[in-house]
Structure 1
Amino acid sequence: MELKALEPKITEIVSNTNETIENRLYSICKLLESNINYYNWVGFYFKNGDKEELKLGPYVGEPTDHTIIPFGKGICGQVAVSNQNFVVPDVAAQDNYIACSITVKAEIVIPIFVNGENIGQIDIDSNTPDPFTEADERLLEFVCAKVSEIL
């Protein structure tokens, strides 16, 4: 599937004010996971109040024990500190990686900014080695920009 083709559907989901923000975020997770065959776990993490940690939000995929992630820990925790996209082609090569499942081979995390502040991120795990391209980054940046409008 052409990733850019998902953008109108993302816009439609985000714009549906009849749904709660939580339901809209969940719908985005479902849309991405069901339309991109190498997206095996799709979820959002958000800054947990004033704490230096992330809290799991809506997600689609295998349940995870990582509902709270300290800033700096794992890929998500590093993005909370760096404010930069993080694409990991091979999680086994990362020494600061928190394993969610032995099947995960790659991960991509894109931060969400509201008024210039990193308030969360979208996290994608893939069971396929090195699947993510620049097109994935652009799509997920689009998703994060749209999500930021409703947070």
Structure 2
Amino acid sequence: MIFESLKPQILQIVSSKENTVDERLLDICKLLEKNISYYNWVGFYFRNGNKEELILGPYVGAPTDHTVIPFGKGICGQVAVSNKNFVVPDVSAQDNYIACSITVKAEIVIPVFVDGKNMGQIDIDSNTPNPFTEADERFLEFVCENVATIL
């Protein structure tokens, strides 16, 4: 399975101390987008200090106007409040969805916890309808657990 083959590369990127945190996060985005065919936009959002909003971090994919997302707004904003994974098989069926592109069909957002606190999340958009499985969730949880070690 592709996820198992990517895990050592994730660990290598995270442990690469010669790169800044943002460079390592961008390298993770590039790795995922390049190797998983249905990951069409991969990025990180992080809590903006004590404000109840997320700010866009490193990402790969089409440019987005959504650089600041209030808590509760869209899928990312909902994850900031719920502290739970959110898998959206069909974005058109979501009332509280922020459209980044008309090509996006599905989205998965997994929180990043540092010392038990939700500090951000990885956000992945797919142009493929309903592509995400439990294997994606488990793999992305692994990614987020390792990202947490460098935040």
TM-score over 0.5 for the pair: yes
Q: How many pairs align? A: 151
Q: Give distance in 2, aligned partners of 1:2 and 1:29.
A: 15
TM-score normalised to structure 2 length? 0.99
Residue 122 of structure 1 aligns with an amino acid whose one-letter code is: I
CA apart distance, 1:143? 0.4
* Partner amino acid, structure 2, of 1:45: Y
Q: Secondary structure at the match of 2:23?
A: helix
Counterpart of 1:44 in structure 2 is 44
Percent of aligned pairs with the same residue? Answer: 76
Match of 2:128 in 1: 128
Deviations 1:65-94 (A, max 9, x none): 000000000000000000000000000000
Q: 1:2, CA displacement in angstroms?
A: 1.9
Q: Does 1:64 align with 2:64?
A: yes
Equivalent-residue separation in structure 2 for 1:150 and 1:93 (angstroms): 35
Gaps in structure 1 of 5+ consecutive residues: none
SS at 2:112 equivalent: strand
Give the distance between the partners of 2:92 and 2:136, measured in 1 at CA: 21
Corresponding residue for 2:30? Answer: 30
- 1:26 Cα deviation after fit: 0.1
Q: Give the ranges of 4+ consecutive aligned residues of structure 1 lying more than 2 Å apart after TM superposition.
A: none
Indicate the residue corresponding to 2:94 in structure 1: 94
Q: Deviations over 1:90-123 (max 9, x none)?
A: 0000000000000000000000000000000000
Aligned partners of 2:149 and 2:98: how far apart in 1?
Answer: 30
Aligned to 1:145: 145
- CA drift of 1:3 comes to 1.4
Equivalent position SS for 2:55 = strand
| Correspondence for 1:15 | 15
Q: Secondary structure at the match of 1:140?
A: helix
